[in-house]
Amino acid sequence: MGIFDIFLLEAVINGLLLGGVLALLSLGLNLVFGVIDVVWICYAELIMLGMYGMYFLYTVYHAPIVVAGAVCIVCVGILGLALHALVIAPLLGAAPINQLLATGGVLFFLQSAATVLFGIEFKNLGLRLPVLKVAGMFVSYSRLLAFGAALIAMVLVYLLLTRTYTGAAIRAIAQDRQIMPLMGVDTRRIYLITSGLGGALAGLAACLLVLQYDVHPFVGLTFGPITFLICVLGSLGNFGGGFVAAFVFAEIISVGGLYLDLEWGYVFAFAFFIVMMFVRPEGLMARRS
Amino acid sequence: MTRYVPWIGGAALVALPFVYRSPYPLHILIIILIWSFAYTSWSVMGRFGLVSLGHGGFMGVGAYVTALAWNYGHVSPWIGVPLAVVASAALAALVAYPCFRFRITGHYFALVTLALSGIVLQVITATRDYTGGSLGYTPERYQGGSSLWAFQFGDKTTWYLIALAVWAAGLYVWNRVDRSMLRYALEAISEDEDAAAATGVHVTAEKLKITVLSATMTALAGALYCQYQMFISPDTVSGISVSLQMVFAVVVGGIYVSLGPTIGAVITILLAEVLRIWFGTRAVGWDNLVYGVLLVLFIIFLPKGVVGSLLELRRRSRWTSS
């Protein structure tokens, strides 16, 4: 087996597509962290709820998939708002680590709420999108769709942040939390908007992930850790860094998983992460100061 | 008078299984003691603002290395447990050193260690040919029941005394750290790293010391749990949920007092048991549901925990009366 064989190329392409989804996953988390300075440990659990929402809307209530997706994005966005209003807002003045732990409590809550409500069975949409066969390689259509949607969402968020008045306020808050309220920016409103946006991005990720993976109450644990690694590697709050890190990780997982099991891909990714922490502790894209 | 309270309490705890030997309450007590020890191990470092979510990983390493060494190498736990402890300490040092060297603190540290516990879970699942994957793993029973060499005892009283001794040792370590220079160094670090470094505190070394100590104790707890239960699965001894469970119990009990983690363990384990008895198999998930809500409520309204808040209440009433 040569080094540049067709399977490797296939793995590289699949890794690229996975990278799009991972980049979308880290985008929401990065946005919330960058603006509110809070880490949502339960971020992956929001996605899990979104996946259940898709499952019920599409499979049980037979809503058209696009409508189901839209409802899902809005609902998870509202969940993000609720999370901020109920849990984060009362803790904004507390030690930062308390906010992180409180969202840890939310993680417990959401996970077991899903267990109690939906049971522990694996559920899927029962929707099998065709697999594209290009030049002897197999590329899953759902991954291609996820990649495309992730890219579009990222461009939209970028435009929102750079081209609108609210976006400018969000970026300003991210730069200096103390000064902006003095300049007449309503921090509470901006925080709520950001949380809602972060939630909506989680909802979008859920719509795309449910096309490829089964949903169960603990699904968040399978891609939660990797999302956090990506955000840390790309420096928390840095969108560009998160983007690059997502693709690097996805390639490691995909190519590593080609030679061994998929779990080993994750193990390699983690080993890479530790090495990178020695080499570039500030994150991949950080400017050295 | 208060000087003798720990000794009287200790004597009462040692005497307990000889007076009252009903197996089920004894089992609950053993479980509480083992987890109390694990929670105490976490709070040894957690109280200095070093919030690690990787302790599920250390516990998993402790449990699985001991069990694997016994089953595949026929290595007695007397050697296997130190081996597991060393492995866990090495893992802790490997991850913590770059973190501390390059000033990865707060959120970052929590996330990196969170990933660590996730990865230990993945490795255990990935090597399912040896570890049984998510189905769990059982150390081989020693023929003939109890054996000191195999560290397997059929008798609950023996286990109770072992767990009690280890728990007491954990409290001793906690108090030793509390009275040491290390504590002042780490408190200074948690306030302001730069200022601490400027006054001559070796920030990286001090943090590394406490992390390795904490990981060592946690691995021991994992090994003990494995030897007692004779069954381990990735979900019960490793992973994020175990890490969060530790944080939760410590926060509920009280993070800055030595008995806090123990009280946290009593509360959480009794809560789970009561729910299990009330609801039976329908209780699956309900205990964590209650945990989650309680954790959020405690952090918002009672961040010092039950014991910490009670102590403060007492101190305040004394001030007003004198």
DSSP state of B53: S
Q: Which of A230, A240, A231 is nearest to A287 (CA)?
A: A240
Nearest to A87 among B121, B296, B303 (CB): B296
Q: In this predicted structure, what is the pLDDT of residue A202?
A: 92
**Domain assignment of residue B262, yes or no:** no
Which H or E run contains B315? helix B305-321
Which pLDDT belongs to residue B169? 94
- Contact check, Cβ <8 Å, B107/A266: no
Its CATH class, for the domain covering A6-279, is mainly alpha
User: How confident is the model at residue B265, as a pLDDT?
Assistant: 92
Give the pLDDT mean for A65-74: 90
The torsion region of residue A154 among left (phi > 0), alpha (psi -120 to 50) and beta comes to alpha
pLDDT of residue A46: 92
The percent of residues above 90 in pLDDT, for chain A, comes to 12
Q: Which two tokens stand for residue A159?
A: 């435009």
Query: Please, what is the Cα angle at B311 between B180 and B319, to 5 degrees?
Result: 105
> How far apart (Å, rounded) are the C-alpha atoms in residues A115 and A113?
5
Give the residue-averaged pLDDT of B14-37: 86
Residue A194, pLDDT above cutoff 60: yes
**How far apart are the C-alpha atoms of A273 and A232, rounded to whole Å?**
9
- Over range B148-172, report the average pLDDT: 87
What residues does B147 pair with on adjacent strands? B152
- What digits encode the pLDDT tens for the residues A17-26? 888 888 888 8
CA nearest neighbour of B106 among B183, B191, B175, B16 = B191
Longest dimension (CA), chain B: 67
Burial of A175 (0-12, 13-18, 19+ CB in 10 A): exposed
Is residue B321 very low, low, confident or very high in pLDDT (cuts 50, 70, 90)? Answer: low
Distance from CA of A218 to the nearest CA of B (A): 10
Look-up: residue for tokens 């007092």? B257
CA A162 to chain centre: 21
Q: Which of A11-15, A202-206, B297-301 has the lowest mean pLDDT?
A: A11-15
Choose among A33, A100, A111: nearest Cβ to B288. A111
Label residue B231 exposed, middle or buried (CB < 10 Å: 0-12, 13-18, 19+): middle
**Cα–Cα dist A224/A12, whole Å:** 22
The pLDDT value given to residue B322: 56
Amino acid at A22: L
B107 vs A39: CB contact, 8 Å cut-off? Answer: yes
Say what the pLDDT of residue A245 is.
Answer: 86
- Predicted pLDDT at A283: 62
Task: State yes or no: pLDDT of A187 exceeds 60.
Answer: yes
**The pLDDT of residue A101 is above 60:** yes
Q: Tokens 């399978």 belong to which residue?
A: A222
Mean pLDDT (chain B) is 86
Q: What is the pLDDT confidence band of residue A284, given thresholds at 50, 70 and 90?
A: low
Residue A238 or A136, more confident = A238
* Chain B interface, best mutation among A233, A267, A274, by max B CB count within 10 A: A274
> Can you give the pLDDT at residue B282?
67
- For an interface test with A, the pick among B103, B255, B299, B300 (most A C-beta atoms closer than 10 Å) comes out as B299
Q: Above 50 in pLDDT, residue A1?
A: no
Q: What amino acid occupies position A210?
A: V
Segment B116-136, tens digit of pLDDT: 888 888 888 888 888 887 788
Give the strand pairing for A137-140 and A131-134.
antiparallel
pLDDT in tens, B221-256: 999 999 998 888 888 888 888 888 888 888 888 888
* Mean pLDDT (chain A, rounded): 82
The contacts of residue B130 (CB under 8 Å, 6+ apart) are B68, B72
Cβ contacts of B107 on chain A, cutoff 8 Å? 33, 39, 96-97, 100, 236
B163 falls in which pLDDT band (50, 70, 90)?
very high
A285 pLDDT above the threshold of 60: no
CB-CB contact of A225 with B115 (8 Å): yes
Q: Give me the pLDDT at residue A108, please.
A: 84
* pTM assigned to the model: 0.83
Please indicate, yes or no, if residue B223 is contained in any of the structural domains. yes
Place of tokens 């023996």: B158
User: What ipTM was reported for this prediction?
Assistant: 0.76
Could you count the other beta carbons within 10 Å of the beta carbon of residue A9? Answer: 13
Check the CA dihedral A153-A157-A158-A163 and report its sign.
positive
User: Which tens digit of pLDDT belongs to each residue from A24-49?
Assistant: 888 888 888 888 888 888 898 999 99
Question: What pLDDT was estimated at residue A131?
Answer: 72
Q: Which residue has the tokens 């849990």?
A: A87
- Beta carbons of B110 and A39 less than 8 Å apart: yes
| More confident call, A54 vs B276 | A54
| Angstrom distance (rounded) from CA A188 to CA A84 | 10
**Residue B299 identity:** I
Asked whether residue A79 carries a pLDDT value surpassing 90, the answer given is: yes
Show the domain range for B49.
2-237
Q: pLDDT-derived band of residue A288, with 50, 70 and 90 as boundaries?
A: very low
Distance from B62 to chain A by nearest Cα, in Å? Answer: 19
| pLDDT tens by residue, B196-212 | 889 888 899 999 999 99
Q: Which residue from B98, B107, B116 is facing A96, i.e. has the nearest CB?
A: B107
In this prediction, residue A128 has a pLDDT band, given cuts at 50, 70 and 90, of: low
d(CA B142, CA B139): 9
Residue A289: the pLDDT is: 39
**pLDDT value, residue A124:** 78
CB count within 10 Å of CB B301 equals: 9
* Mean pLDDT, residues B280-296 taken together: 76
Give the total number of structural domains in chain B. 1
**Tokens standing for residue B126:** 């990935």
Write the DSSP symbol of residue B282: G
Burial classification of residue B157, based on how many CB atoms lie within 10 Å of its CB (0-12 exposed, 13-18 middle, 19 or more buried): middle
User: Residue ranges of the alpha helices (H) in B104-192?
Assistant: 106-126, 128-131, 156-179, 181-191
**Secondary structure string (H, E, C) spanning A149-171:** HHHHHHHHHHHHHHHCHHHHHHH
Q: Among the listed ranges A169-178, B139-148, B256-265, which one has the minimum average pLDDT value?
A: B139-148
Q: Does B292 contact A87 at a Cβ distance shorter than 8 Å?
A: no
pLDDT average, residue stretch B141-170: 83
Determine the distance from the C-alpha atom of residue A107 to the mean position of all C-alpha atoms in its chain, rounded to a whole number.
15
Q: Determine which of A114-123, A265-274, B81-90 has the lowest per-residue pLDDT on average.
A: A265-274
Q: What is the pLDDT of residues A137-186, one digit of tens each?
A: 677 777 788 888 888 988 898 898 889 988 888 888 877 778 877 888 88
Which residues have C-beta within 8 Å of that of residue B104, sequence separation ≥ 6?
A232, A277, A281, B98, B112
Which residue in A101, A236, A275 has the most chain B C-beta atoms within 10 A of its own C-beta, making it the best mutation to test that interface? A101
B287, part of any domain? no
DSSP code at position A213? S
Q: Return the bridge partners of A133, or none.
A: A138
**How far is residue A165 from each of residues A28, A37, A104, A169, A266, measured CA to CA in Å?**
20, 21, 33, 6, 40
Q: What percentage of chain B reaches a pLDDT higher than 90?
A: 29
Query: Among all residues of chain A, which has the CA nearest to that of B287?
Result: A112
- Per CB-CB distance under 8 Å, the chain A contacts of B268 are none
Give A56-67 pLDDT, tens digit per residue.
888 888 888 888
Task: Label residue A281 by pLDDT band (50, 70, 90).
Answer: low
Q: Which helix (H) or strand (E) holds A138?
A: strand A137-140
Verify whether the Cβ–Cβ distance A228 to B111 is below 8 Å. yes
Rounded Cα gap, residues A230 and A270, in angstroms: 10
Answer yes or no: do A277 and B108 touch at CB < 8 A: no
